[in-house]
Amino acid sequence: MRNAFVAEITTLAAKDERIVLLSGDIGNRLFDEYKERFPARFYNCGVAEANMMSLAAGMALCGLRPITYTITPFVTTRCLEQIRLDVCYHNVPVIIVGTGAGLSYASLNASHHSCEDIAFLRMLPNMAVVCPGDACEVRLALRAAVEYNGPVYIRLGKKGEPVVHLQAPQFTIGKGIIIQDGLDVCLLSTGNLLPTAVQAADELRQRGISACVVSFHTVKPLDEAILSDVFARFKVVATVEEHSVLGGLGGSVAEWLADRSFLRSHLLRVGTPDAFIYEAGEQNYFREKFGLTAVMIAEKVQQTYQVNTPR
Amino acid sequence: MFMDSDGFLITEMESIARRTRGKLVEMSHVARTPHLGSSLSCVDILVAAYWGFLKTDPQNPGDPNRDRLILSKGHAATSLYVTLAYRGFFSLELLETYAQSGARLAEHPIYGSVPGVEVTSGSLGHGLSLGLGIALAGRLQGYGYRVFVVMSDGECNEGSVWEAAQFAPIHHLDNIAVIVDYNKWQATGRSNEVMALSPLKQKWEAFGWSTHEMDGHDLSSLVEVLRNVPDGTGKPVAVVAHTVKGKGISFMEDDNNWHYRFPNADEVQKAKWELGLL
């Protein structure tokens, strides 16, 4: 995802002079080509994210399209007030790009974990929260964000994730993408767990359960049309995300559902627990631990489906 | 040093500053709003800006090449509102609606509320970074405008101020100036006792800024230094403006009770009499 981000932003900057890339002292060598081609439109803002964010808002007030980039917690919660007041209150088109969604940097300890960022940012009025599911969606999300007339948060994984889309789908901020339709259950996935959600659907098929998979890349604004459709059609709708079960996609859908009556449908939130991590380990170790592998997700969905389906 | 015509202008500006102070006292009384002391301390800075060194046209407040003034110490909003109204950015009648329910003029400035308010402020430590973004945008887009950021001394407690202070010199952003309204008080104490603020000028200097120290109530010094931004050093400019909180009204001067207090009717009369407005 990271490499797709850099490639796409370099392509976009060639076409759009409003684009300015602001980095929080990260991406060693990553931006070499960009810097060489657009030296006046790259600023290493140092380890000073609050300044970077307000500075971006100032640029956007003048018609530019600044992109702030660093590791997810530092470009979100570290400078949340700057995002809230300077970016969102002024409602200016700053594109905030965080790399290291969820447990991508699990081994680096809680300072680099990012399982609350969606919750924090989606609370802010005017903010769009976009979590691409693979490298293809990263490129499309960036293109859409540059044209979007307001703040956008783009939540990247790391590098080398599997690609789900073999062809570029239609991509609109606020509109989910149906990866495959199904008959029994529905998986709404946001962000870097999309490849796992697709595998979970395969696993469910082997267990005799047909699963619809949606790349619900935009957590805000919520795609209410898709939600209305899937809650009307499926007995189990599961949200799948590498983010806390509080406040992310699962939280958003639960809030949406609370004001509506879908009596035959059950919401299952799959995500990370409401807890910090106090041990070492890589992303896959913690995915296993928190039940975020394809098999474990399929197992949970199957159980919920069976409980809600009288034999 | 000023020519005769400028000398005349300074006298005129002094009179505007006096009337501005009278209006601030009245507004604080009517709306029962705090921060009067903070508003009074930066009146001369704002008058020097709008009548002396800002290249801006009240008839064309959206001109992309206008100089920008950012009131980062947003709690002095009334000071900004009165100077903008007196300068012709919007009608004087609007001042009478200040802080009323549903009115445009809130106790801290809101972006887009009236012409001349360039950003929303109120949380300290944001204005300088916003200003840097605007200054950089001006450079990238080929405009010659300058950005002036009015900050408070208490605001210098904020870490983000010093993030911004490190950014500007390395990028040779010389089209921006900070004016610190150094009135020696913050909300609940002396600004040199709450945090180790002093020596303030040397701090900005050490961060790579072209620094000046002056009497922040001396209109001609303010205009003389700030009209010359960029100053040829290639550095951003920082002015440490020594001011008196509550300036202009004897019983408010340097009395921090007026950070939160608002004056009663007698005090308004007394203040206006002292200002020569009665």
**Between B134, B159, B166, which is nearest A58 by CB?**
B134
- Interface touch A62/B137, C-beta < 8 Å: yes
CA distance to partner chain B, nearest, from residue A13 (Å): 14
- Judge whether A267 is closer than 8 Å to chain B, CB to CB: no
Q: Could you give the number of structural domains in chain B?
A: 1
Burial label for B9, CB within 10 Å (0-12, 13-18, 19+), is middle
Q: Could you report the per-residue pLDDT of A185-211, keeping only the tens digit for each?
A: 999 999 999 999 999 999 999 999 999
CATH number at residue B161: 3.40.50.970
Is the CB of B134 inside 8 Å of chain A's CB atoms? yes
Q: Which residue of A has its CA nearest to B140?
A: A40
From the list B134, B136, B166, the residue facing A48 with the nearest CB is: B166
- Does A54 contact B129 at a Cβ distance shorter than 8 Å? yes
In A, which residues are within 8 Å of B125 by CB distance?
50
Q: Would you say B73 and B42 are in contact if contact means Cβ atoms under 8 Å apart? A: yes
Whether B164 and chain A come into contact, CB under 8 Å, resolves to: yes
Mutation for B interface: A44, A51, A53, A78, most B CBs within 10 A: A51
Residue B52 has which token pair?
């002396």
Model-level ipTM above the cut of 0.90:
yes
Q: Are A148 and A93 in contact (CB under 8 A)?
A: yes
The arithmetic mean of pLDDT across residues B258-264, rounded, is 96
- Check residue B5 and give its pLDDT: 56
- B160 at A interface, C-beta within 8 A: yes
pLDDT at B4 over 80: no
Q: At A311, is the pLDDT very low, low, confident or very high (cuts 50, 70, 90)?
A: low
Please report, as a single letter, which amino acid is at residue A19: I
Render pLDDT for A40-85 as a digit per residue (tens, 0 to 9): 999 999 999 999 999 999 999 999 999 999 999 999 999 999 999 9
Cross-strand bridge partners of residue A177: A215
Q: Give the three-class secondary structure for B219.
A: helix
Strand partners, A270: A240
Per the CB < 8 A criterion, the answer to whether A14 and A37 are in contact is: yes
Identify the residue among B66, B129, B134 best suited for mutation to test binding to A, counting A beta carbons within 10 A and taking the highest: B129
Structural domain includes residue B197: yes
Of A20, A41, A61, the CB nearest to B134: A61
Q: Does the residue B3 lie in any domain? A: no
Chain B contact for A60 (CB, 8 A cutoff): yes
pLDDT value for B3: 43
Cut 0.90: pTM above it: yes
- State the nearest Cα–Cα gap between A38 and chain B, in angstroms: 12
CA distance B229 to B238: 10
Inter-chain residue contact B129 with A63, CB threshold 8 Å: no
Q: Which residue of A has its CA nearest to B129?
A: A55
Chain A residue with minimal CA distance to B112? Answer: A90
Q: Does A125 touch chain B (CB under 8 A)?
A: no
Across the range B50-65, mean pLDDT stands at: 97
Contact at CB, B167 and A61, closer than 8 angstroms: no
71-90 in A: which are within 8 Å (CB) of B?
Answer: 81-82, 85-86, 89-90
Q: pLDDT at residue A308 above 90?
A: no
User: Is the pLDDT reported for residue B6 higher than 70?
Assistant: no
Look at B123 and A81 and tell me if their CB atoms are within 8 Å: yes
B62 in contact with A, Cβ within 8 Å: no
Question: Distance of alpha carbon A188 from its chain centroid, rounded?
Answer: 12
Please provide the average confidence, as pLDDT, over all residues in chain A.
97
Closest by Cβ to A54, choosing from B122, B130, B166: B130
Q: What is the pLDDT of residue A262?
A: 82
Q: Are A51 and B129 within 8 A, CB to CB?
A: yes
- Spell out the residues 6+ positions from residue A217 whose beta carbon is closer than 8 angstroms to its own: A130, A131, A132, A133, A137, A141, A171, A176, A177, A190, A191
Helix (H, G, I), strand (E, B) or coil at B84: helix
Q: Which residues of A touch B129 (CB under 8 A)?
A: 50-51, 53-55, 58, 82, 86
Closest alpha carbon to A99 in A6, A193, A33: A6
Chain A residues with CB-CB distance to B171 below 8 A? 43
Question: Is residue A227's pLDDT more than 60?
Answer: yes
Answer whether A90 sits within 8 Å of B111, measured CB to CB: yes
Q: How far apart are CA B85 and CA B235, in angstroms?
A: 33
The encoded tokens of residue B122 equal 């109120």
Would the CB atoms of B133 and A56 count as touching at under 8 Å? yes
Residue B1 lies in a domain: no
Q: Does B64 touch chain A if contact means CB atoms closer than 8 Å?
A: yes
> Residue A173 and residue B199: Cα distance in Å, rounded?
50
Range of the domain at B136: 8-274
Interchain CB contact of B171 with A (< 8 Å)? yes
Task: Judge whether B2 lies within some domain.
Answer: no
A78-135 tens-digit pLDDT:
999 999 999 999 999 999 999 999 999 999 999 999 999 999 999 999 999 999 999 9
Residues of B in contact with A20 (CB under 8 A): 140
CB contact under 8 A, B132 and A81: no
Range A135-141 average pLDDT: 98
Q: Kindly state whether residue B251 falls inside one of the protein's structural domains.
A: yes
3-state secondary structure of B117: coil
B164: in domain: yes
Q: Are A231 and A221 in contact (CB under 8 A)?
A: no
Q: Give which of A17, A45, A54, A83 to mutate to test B binding, by max B Cβ within 10 Å.
A: A54
pLDDT score, position B69: 98
Would you say residue B34 lies in a domain?
Answer: yes
pLDDT tens digits, B84-135:
999 999 999 999 999 999 999 999 999 999 999 999 999 999 999 999 999 9
Residue B7 has pLDDT above 80, yes or no: no
Asked if A45 reaches chain B (Cβ–Cβ under 8 Å), the answer is: yes
**Closest-CA residue to B53 (of B227, B201, B254, B186):** B227
Cβ atoms within 10 Å of B122's Cβ, excluding its own: 18
| Mean pLDDT, rounded, for A237-266 | 95
Mark yes or no for CB contact B140/A46 under 8 Å: no
